[in-house]
Structure 1
Amino acid sequence: MKTTNGLARIILFTAPIIIVSVIFLSIAYGAKGITLATIWEAFTAYNEEDVNHAIIMTSRLPRVLSALLVGAFLAISGAIMQGMTRNYLASPSIMGVTDGSAFVITICMVFMPELPSISMILFSMLGSAIGAGIVYGFGSLIKGGLSPVRLAIIGTVIGTFLSSMSAAIASYFQVSQNVSFWYNAKLHQADPDVFLMALPFGLVGLILAIIVANGITILSLGEEVSVTLGQRTRMVKVLSMLSVICLTGTAVALVGKIGFVGLIVPHITRFLVGVDYKVLIPCAGIIGGVFLALCDILSRFVNAPFETPIGVITSLIGVPFFLYLIRTRGGGRHA
């Protein structure tokens, strides 16, 4: 335990240095290389007539900040879902949460094209709730449907169905190009104004996550143990799902659908710092944000000078990790 606590302290204390370093790296590398001196000048003596300064402030800085924020939100959502359900395969992308969000956004773009950004964020959260509700509803109706592997299969099927419906609707109403943003996760198109609007909603999700952290730690030990310890399990689950809905809905509204971050990062974090969610949640947020930002940087080099969709990068890492979990953990729940 001392080792994991020590690692947690290292992660938390070095986070500012690591995050700042990742921001500088993300800004420096791309189709157009920018020197560190120019980046520093853009922050300390911004000149709106300087093309490099404009690229930094209007494109690359919003992009890396969005990657850090979205990575943190998805990682924390995955950690909460895994702890709350004791399902080691739970994550927003596998359990239909992100697909539900993208599906509702597609509906909004077709039937309410003039919807303001703040309303789009709210509808994205509604979609997250609908997606999760459908998956867990089907899981409850099927014998053994709430087991990790079966629930993951149900989530994948429902997610694929919602994605297909979105594609069909977008194609029929000729809005495929606009909808593609939410399915291809185009970080370079992150809107600074939407970013600022989304922050309060993400903050609500983070506050809820912190509030329920201790309850999730107890809940992850099992329903019977939680009840024995006098915990109000229903309240913990409701607040946990509200947190997941806020965080995932905000993430999808910001940059679109990104898979596997919420699956991979919580497992890595749990291995490093243990199962105390008061520590696991902030550490997962840090690792998730850095992980997605690094994936974004990597996406610029895989097929340079063209950019590879970041979803491809996360899938290349996430799919083998997903199969590894099924192979090593079978159908059981985590402790």
Structure 2
Amino acid sequence: MVKIGNIELGIFPLLLAPMEDVSDPPFRAVCKENGADLMYTEFISSEGLIRNAEKSVQKLDIYDYERPIGIQIFGDKIESMREAASIAEAAQPEIIDINYGCPVKKVACKGAGAGILLDIPKMQEMTSEIVKQVSLPVTVKTRLGWDDSTIRILEVAKRLQDVGIQALTIHGRTRAQMYKGEADWTKIAEVKHHPDIHIPIFGNGDIDSPEKALDYRNRYELDGIMIGRAAIGYPWIFNEIKHFMKTGEHLAAPDMKTRVATAKKHLQFSLEWKNELQGIFEMRRHYTNYFRGIPNFKPYRARLVESENPEELFNILDEISAVFEDAYALVE
């Protein structure tokens, strides 16, 4: 049984990655319904939280059916991160997570996210202060290093474990790689199997199929897997992986009624959680993936991303369900 603090996550938990502009409550809702064991919010700016910025504060929204859930924060100032951790704790998640992995220039080049990998002593000090500040378990998500010449992930893991984090997720790329090339899980496994490491170690990067998830579980023997981009528009991946790991067989691909029903649920929650127009805009990135591989779908996708009318969008989705009723059989 994998545990973070007193939180039991099962034998080999599947985690939903914190993805900016993706891992909001509407998206998390459909992922939880389809098998995600632990989810994190989008990363939240510490400076935004302490200034009470509306966009940052809204990201603290969590719902009981999502539990267990972690709130992820990022920033480059230790005092701001301490204060932000307290604000996040007040929202009553199960976990406070620290983002030491975001590679985006506007974050990393200011010393936050993956940028702090260039200053490991500061990373350790910041983490220590956050652990002391809150009563909840603190976890960290990071990368292998800034670039190939600065990969010190084992040292990072030991230092962060020493100051009290209770789990570590490692994306198997450096900041310099961004999302290019292949994630190196061998270095993640080296951390997991080092005799000085006792906290759960989760791997992240490139998991996009049940076969790969099973292969990586058996090959690297980590405590669990975090899934990011592969879940966008395809929340069924969590249950598909679980079923394949248990039986060695594939679940049937979601049929068109299932795809449409999930997209409608996602859209409805998006409309309710954000204002109507913003909710419509937020959904546009998901439609392509919900209906990926459907032959002759392009005209319908164009209508979905052009419409700004909720009623029209639901009608289009119903039309898709009727017109492409058997199309799921053609999806690989």
Q: TM-score, normalised by structure 2?
A: 0.25
Kindly indicate whether structure 1 or structure 2 has the higher relative contact order, using CA contacts under 8 Å at least 6 residues apart.
1
More helix by share: 1
Q: TM-score, normalised by structure 1?
A: 0.25
More strand by share: 2
